[in-house]
Chains A and B, each alone.
Chain A
């Protein structure tokens, strides 16, 4: 058939275009315009999510029987630090959580203080950016109530979470905006499935921010800091994975 020649030509042309497109993706995503596009698309998702559901709408909560049999630990699963290990072995008697930054009344809380605050218990699903999910029951005070107690200042726009763990030689940290900070399910968890949080899941304290992915749920919490801007903190992208690997700061999708 005479068409075979041109047909192959067209096919290899199409394959070439496809390959060119795929290779060009790297160049595009690294350019300034590409970065702007990425950030715009990300913020559209955030806006869409918060418009379609109320900003305070709850993530689904499950019954005890729907929990996963175990709860996977990922990222940092251990803290290589003498003080931490000594505290872990003795039930964190001297662990302190600071609430600081743009607040009128900075706080320093012990584990006993945190357990004495009004508690929220929620059985929720943890979705990792990799794709897997686990379900567990978390207990702890709401972040919003704690920020009210500390009298957060009006110029605070973000809440920063400082952590004890180190990964790839960098200290882990994360941040969220005030909408998620005051979401009713945003809690500082000290218990998983009714027991103190195991080391691999973030003992003694980890954040639960239920409308976002797992890497936002900072573990091994040492301080909560109210800030006006994320600039100058780490590499300025708002979190460990955001700095190290370019993950999306808004992790609602």
Chain B
């Protein structure tokens, strides 16, 4: 067998931490920007709170960049962090296609979407399959983040920029108009925040996972490919299955 490959390639680790910084800055400066006009609309136009589909709360200073309302400075941070976020997403997609991360971990088949596959993944909990590839729930969630949410953030962000719009007016139409794009930008941001929270809780539950995102970790199974016929480890204290 070949020597142990890292569990996370260098490109994954580099992107992960740059992107983590970018997402935190974008989210917190985005909450400040949201405070400038706390209403969301569908369609091309919208300025009257009476037409809003959602009146957003005012986000408190501790949650925003900067820590008080300042649209200009918040936009500066948003405009800066948009670059590593957008270019980084392009980079990681190319890297994942080239190094096989995409095919190995993110591609789902019909079987991954069945309730039994989802239940089995949740029972296995830690998620590490024998070959360290992702279980169906991880494939669906990570695939949804990489394939839908992150690209949607870039595309909706571009769409609400009047300077960019002439490059791809069809994109704004596709998203249902500028105010729809703005609403989707907000929704996708919160969906990413939801992922972020679960992601951090699960990572903190196993400190080793965080360390591996720095060091790369090792792909143990490739060093010693185990036959491992045992399907699931018995749950501690639970009665044996009949």
Contacts and interface: CB of A to CB of B under 8 A. Distances in A.
Interface of A: 6-7, 10-11, 14, 18-19, 21-23, 25-26, 29, 37-38, 41-42, 44-46, 48-50, 52-54, 57-60, 62, 66, 68, 70, 72, 125, 127-135, 210-213, 241, 245-248, 250-253
Which of A37, A42, A49, A72 counts the most B-chain CB atoms under 10 A from its CB? A49
Interface size range of chain B in the complex: 35 or more
A128 B162 contact: no
A192 to B, nearest CB: 14
B162 A7 contact: no
Contacts of B77: 25, 29
11 contacts: A14-B200, A18-B24, A25-B66, A26-B67, A41-B76, A45-B161, A46-B163, A131-B36, A135-B44, A212-B162, A246-B73
Nearest to B160: A127
A19 B28 CA distance: 11
Contacts of B137: none
Which of A18, A22, A247 counts the most B-chain CB atoms under 10 A from its CB? A22
Contacts of A251: 162-163
Given A127-B160, A133-B46, A253-B79, A57 B67 contact: no
B75 A37 contact: no
B37 interface: yes
Contacts of B24: 18, 21
A99 to B, nearest CB: 26
Nearest to A210: B162
B79 A45 contact: yes
Interface in B137-192: 160-169, 172, 178-179, 182
Interface of B: 24-25, 28, 33-34, 36-37, 39, 41, 44-48, 62, 65-67, 70-73, 75-77, 79-80, 82-83, 160-169, 172, 178-179, 182, 200, 204, 207
B72 A246 contact: yes
A133 B46 CA distance: 5
A213 B33 CA distance: 14
Closest 10 CB pairs between A and B? A252-B163, A53-B167, A57-B166, A52-B167, A132-B47, A49-B163, A253-B161, A131-B37, A130-B37, A53-B166
Given A26-B66, A29-B66, A58 B162 contact: no
Given A53-B167, A60-B169, A125 B45 contact: yes
Given A41-B80, A49-B167, A246-B72, A213 B162 contact: yes
A125 B44 contact: yes
Contact of B67 (A23, A41, A135): A23
A135 to B, nearest CB: 5
Given A29-B77, A60-B165, A252-B161, A7 B37 contact: no
B234 to A, nearest CB: 20
Given A23-B67, A41-B79, A44-B83, A134 B166 contact: no
